[in-house]
A and B are shown apart, each in its own frame.
Chain A
Amino acid sequence: MTTALVVAAVLAVLAVGVVAAPFLRDPDGRNDVLERRDVLDERRLELSEERDRALLALRELEFDHRTGKISDDDYRMLVGDYRRRAAAAMRALEPTTRRRQAVDVQR
């Protein structure tokens, strides 16, 4: 029983140590805020996803065309749209990134 109590106490102390570690490492709590994403970041993320989606679709389209799964007509019809989407997302991303950098400098 005594051994069990000692083991239990050791376990509890170790557990408390692990749980308290973030506070012990950083007792002052400077910058104690979870990463915050504002409207600009959300927009940037949305555009990045849109760009990646278009680029991935382009890559697959090229591949499917090369393997003969997509006819030339279908390819021509789809490739322009994907390129436009990717370019639009990339164009929109540039000012978002610049604005983000400006906000960070001001901070």
Chain B
Amino acid sequence: MPDVGRAALLVTLGLSLYATVAGAWAARTRRRRLADSAGNALLAALGTSAVAAAVLLVALLRHDFSFTYVADHTSTRLPTGYTISAFWGGQEGSLLLWLLVLAAYASAAVFVNRRRAPDLAAWSVPVLGAVMTFFALLLVAVASPFTTQAAPAEGAGLNPSLQNPYMLAHPPLLYLGYVGLTIPFAFAIGALLAKRTDERWIVATRRWTLVAWTALGIGQLLGSHWAYVEVGWGGFYAWDPVENAALMPWLAATAFLHSVMIQEKRGMLRIWNVLLVILAFGLSLFGTFLTRSGVVNSIHSFTESSIGPWFLGFICVVVAFSLALVFVRLPLLRSKTRLESLVSREAAFLYNNLLLVAFCLTILWGVAFPMLSELVRGESRTLGQPYYNFFLRAFGLPLLLLMGLGPLIAWRRASVRALSRTFAWPAGVALATGLVLLAAGAGSSPPGLIAYTFSTFVLASIALEFVRGARASGSVLQLVGRNRRRYGGYIVHAAIVLIAIGVAGSAYDSVAEGRLRPGETLTAGPWTAVYRSLDQERAANALELRARVDLYHDRELAGTIYPGKNRYFAEAQTSNEMAIHTDWLRAEDVDVITDQINTDGSVYFRVIVKPLVNLIWVAGVIFLFGSLVAMWPDAREQRRLAARYAPASA
């Protein structure tokens, strides 16, 4: 069995190398059959990497502990779902997932564009092949999932934090996002190599970018929810380096999705767009490096390994090569159109881009700072939450406002009279909301108050766009159907606003903590928690200790919850199992955490009342819906593009 896996990886490496070398040669010498052959190598690599993945999956399901990876990440007591998720729970498995997903993306993107844009696809194949070669080489030579040993009687089990249903979807979605950003990168570099700097690379990769961006966004939200319900500290985002690693490429891709519209509509920002794609891909590699190298301390980096220098070297090569290529092609990338007014839609998009990239780079600095300080001073110093929160406010609040302003401003230029008429209604609603909130006491957190006021402004402007558009088009369905990208984008904006509201809600958390004996109470805001008893139950893989807690809202029983701890047998680890009571009517969560369970039956509890936090999870559904609307194919647009890019001799 392991030999089959090793052989499959070796063949994948050979195929990837062939795609790189033969693909580059074919594109340079314009040989059609060789270019097709190199493209086919990517497809064949998908098959062989799928065989390697199947071997690992079967070994996991059979609990074949002669595979070191299986013994290190599973045990016979681990439920089947988590046994499957152990595939990406460790370094070698997750690298194999990277390779598999990349092979799938690469072969699909190349085959879709092979006839539409042959020269562009031909130059993209060697780029994709080179990235696949790197990952295949890592799996063959540095971090093989198929190393074997004398099989122990029992495996080490899976990290308890990973034993959560979210772990079945969160990592694969992040990988879909990280890996998906390879496609726009490969086509952008392919376009530069082919000296084709028209819009074809953008048209060819628009949907792939959206798919990757959506997967990365949903993956992060699932990760946040996992952190919220599983890690047991009462928060959902801690500016952990590995969390940041997923946020950075998402921010860069968000900037790209906006600025690419300026290139499509006004022919501007060509250099900027290519740089953004390089940044997004570079950051997705950096994210994988952070997660897998063990260079940073994070609850998410479950491994320490020797792949760090390999990744760092590859990132340096990718960035240096890409920037050198952009520099060489600068004359082809210069746009003929210039910004006409600082008050126009494209100017708003530009401000949005600057803020997104600035935010992304400040996070990058925060993540890299401990590594750099260790390198320079010999001591690792970290930048804590206040650093990130400061920049979240400094860049996030103007971004929020721009989300409302941008769609209301016309392209090219807008007169003050038209602007004041358009802004009047949303600004009035926002101002009124702000005043009401101030009167209600929301002024205790000025950033929170500003965030809520701006959020109201954005939601009102989106509502206005829909109402006016529906009036002009006849119905909302017709309106959205004819302008999917625009109105899908507005739906996504609404989701981001809900996330902003949920995040801003953290400023109004109420917290109480203390050691309680059965019958004693703890009060946070209008909520009172009464500790009743402590019970324990033996599950298949853990001993589950649970405190029974009755929750009262203004002396009225609202429910009973069971926070506690799990003591895992195989892993010899303990996890905090927070209990959450969701009050949809009051739009708040009550989180009860058992920080310490004592042998005398007393428990140290923490009770946190979190207003509006659930909007973040609701936003995930809306975000996905909006993204699907935006990426849904538009027949009219397809016909227009087909006519534009019809074969040269047609």
Contact = CB atoms under 8 A, between A and B. Distances in A.
B410 A74 contact: yes
B8 A8 contact: yes
A64 B26 CA distance: 47
A12 to B, nearest CB: 6
Given A32-B33, A67-B468, 14 more contacts: A5-B7, A8-B11, A11-B48, A15-B44, A18-B41, A26-B33, A33-B30, A34-B31, A35-B118, A45-B198, A49-B644, A53-B265, A74-B413, A100-B648
Contact of A36 (B41, B411, B640, B648): B648
B370 interface: no
B438 to A, nearest CB: 30
A88 interface: no
A98 to B, nearest CB: 14
Contacts of A57: 265, 411
Interface string A82-102: 000000000000000000100
Interface of B: 1, 3-4, 7-8, 10-11, 14-15, 18, 26-27, 30-37, 40-41, 43-45, 47-48, 51, 118-119, 122, 198-199, 264-267, 408, 410-415, 417-418, 421-422, 465, 468-469, 471-472, 483, 640, 643-645, 647-649
B644 A56 contact: no
A69 B408 contact: yes
A59 B265 CA distance: 11
Given A70-B418, A74-B418, A15 B15 contact: yes
B47 A14 contact: yes
Interface of A: 1, 3-5, 7-8, 11-12, 14-15, 18-23, 26, 29, 31-38, 41, 45-46, 48-50, 52-53, 56-57, 60-61, 63-64, 66-71, 73-74, 78, 100, 104
Contacts, number: 148
Q: 3 closest Cβ contacts across the A-B interface?
A: A8-B7, A4-B3, A22-B36
A35 to B, nearest CB: 5
Contacts of A18: 40-41, 43-44, 47
A26 B11 CA distance: 25
Nearest to A40: B648
Contacts of B471: 67
A21 B36 CA distance: 9
A86 to B, nearest CB: 13
Contact of B8 (A11, A29, A32, A46): A11
A interface, by DSSP: helix, strand, loop or mixed? helix
Contacts of B647: 35
B118 A34 contact: yes
Given A15-B15, A53-B264, A53-B265, A22 B644 contact: no
A21 B410 contact: no
Contacts of A32: 31-33
Contacts of B47: 11, 14-15, 18
B468 A68 contact: yes
23 contacts: A4-B3, A4-B7, A8-B7, A11-B8, A11-B11, A14-B44, A15-B15, A18-B41, A21-B37, A21-B40, A22-B32, A34-B118, A35-B647, A36-B119, A45-B644, A48-B644, A52-B644, A60-B411, A63-B472, A67-B472, A69-B422, A73-B415, A78-B410
A53 B264 CA distance: 7
B198 A68 contact: no
B44 A41 contact: no
Contacts of A46: 198
Contact of A41 (B7, B267, B648): B648
Contacts of A68: 421-422, 468
Contacts of A21: 36-37, 40
Nearest to B203: A49
B58 to A, nearest CB: 13
Given A8-B3, A19-B44, A56-B265, A64 B410 contact: yes
Contacts of B14: 15
Looking at A34, A41, A53, A64, the one whose CB has the most chain B CB atoms below 10 A away is A34
Contact of B119 (A3, A34, A64): A34
Contacts of B35: 34
Contacts of A34: 26-27, 30-32, 35, 118-119, 122
Contacts of B413: 74, 78
Contact of A15 (B1, B48, B411): B48
A70 B410 contact: yes
B33 A19 contact: no
Looking at A5, A18, A33, A100, the one whose CB has the most chain B CB atoms below 10 A away is A18
